[in-house]
A and B are shown apart, each in its own frame.
Chain A
């Protein structure tokens, strides 16, 4: 490559971590949406589609990992951030788990096939995956809002306002919890037809899907800790 005849001050501007953080959060929303579709295909018995979707989720997870590594490598000790880098990394790994959870749930579906599930369990899973996606989406609106504030030299008041979304996320997570426990009961009610392995597999699947909502809440908490302690 030919040498550039340029001297510039550009080196003083470290790699800003907030832009890739938002990109990473976007992956979480995409994963949650895709998981909902995977659940639908699974309930329809379309294992081919489930396989495809699981592979796709694995790819998204890899892309998210790449973004995570980029952010991490930009945090050398000479780079000064307006937030504690430890808290930033903590928040990042929480957000990353949402994406991992989606991949894990899809993987779990690949393991066992059902010829036909009782309609109440079917409905429960559809409802659960929808509510989970809704929770992650809500979480993403918080990220979006904060990202805009960061780029526009935000005020403390505006930040506090942005975090008013957090109770909404918690409410949605609470709703998914309720769906989860209802589903658990229905699974055990059908233990004769589902048999031991089926019960075991389905209760675990409920947990795995619900994990996305749980992680959205803890991710929002980690984000709050990072920003408020600024």
Chain B
């Protein structure tokens, strides 16, 4: 049974990683192609390398938050074999629920976040264990949950403020002072921000793929307290594969449509996004890179950097994440209770 569950967990985690690479990473990289700084092939190679580095070397903090920061898996896992089984099935349910929701949302082009879905899935599992009486409701780490949800509000605003300020600064210091075609100086800079944004993305989003399976493997005793590197390598590979097998199409779509994002504007939006994402990886909070990118682009647009930005997308994002957490949580709880019920 353990072998089957391990395989199921790895598959589910890999599917999530693939999805993240295919869409979220592709979005972050698409803006680089849009400015014409790099070709799609170059972007994929750079993104693959830096996404992988970010995941392996800076993915621990957020992964640990998803794995044990929200639901006290030690408390459940310590309850003998039943406890172990609960954690394993619960984390499998969380990943499956998140994967299902992200798949559905992607078909309908809803701007949902994989991080939100995973947090929702894990929360759904935690609430189910409390419902079954394994832990009290108060054992769920509500303060951490509150910090995470608050960061979902604040992080896109931070992206907007940073993007706005950066572009205003660049315009005042560079664009309006230097004669001739200034934009060309931002092309090499954009190669750097492409690496930066891929690294930041890897460091935060790998957790959505490997956070739950880390918790399950810890309960199984497959891994110890320290999360081994191979888990992050596994997540990193999944995301890179997602980018290479599917993400290039998303990059093409974005690249061909964002024609007015000049190198200086793209630089401002990407630099702002990467910085805000990396900050959240540092303070162990799982956030949505896509939402921060949207925030940063709006910031640059409001600074007069773009000829038009459509603010109606803010409501779509707001609505999609208001829905994501309860849906992922409920689906996760249903899958978990179902698996428990059939006595896997």
Contacts and interface: CB of A to CB of B under 8 A. Distances in A.
Interface of A: 3-18, 74, 76, 78-82, 150-157, 230
Contacts of B312: 11, 76, 78-79
Contact of B250 (A6, A81, A150): A6
A78 B313 CA distance: 9
B316 to A, nearest CB: 7
Contacts of A9: 27, 30-31, 111, 254, 290, 293-294, 297
Contacts of B257: 10, 13
B82 interface: no
Given A6-B249, A8-B27, A9-B290, A78 B310 contact: yes
Contacts of B308: 13-17, 74, 79-81
A49 B183 CA distance: 49
A13 B309 contact: yes
Interface string B265-281: 10000000000000000
Nearest to A152: B183
Given A6-B106, A78-B311, A12 B23 contact: no
Contacts of A3: 107-108
Interface stretch (B43-51, B128-136, B299-307): B299-307
B109 A7 contact: yes
Contact of B27 (A7, A18, A150): A7
B305 A153 contact: yes
A74 B183 CA distance: 27
Contact of B306 (A5, A16, A76, A155): A16
Nearest to A157: B176
Contact of B313 (A12, A15, A18): A12
A226 to B, nearest CB: 12
A9 B290 CA distance: 7
Chain B contact-residue range equals 35 or more
A122 B182 CA distance: 51
Of B27, B307, B313, chain A has the most CB atoms within 10 Å of the CB of B307
Contacts of A4: 107, 109
A14 B260 contact: no
Of A7, A8, A10, A13, chain B has the most CB atoms within 10 Å of the CB of A7
B33 interface: no
A18 B306 CA distance: 11
A156 B171 CA distance: 10
Interface string B185-222: 00000000000000000000000000000000000000
Interface in B96-118: 105-112
A92 B293 CA distance: 33
Contacts of A230: 304
Contacts of A82: 304-307
B332 interface: no
B282 interface: no
Contacts of B109: 4, 6-8
Given A13-B297, A153-B171, A8 B253 contact: yes
Given A152-B183, A153-B264, A10 B253 contact: yes
Interface in B312-333: 312-313, 316
A166 B310 CA distance: 33
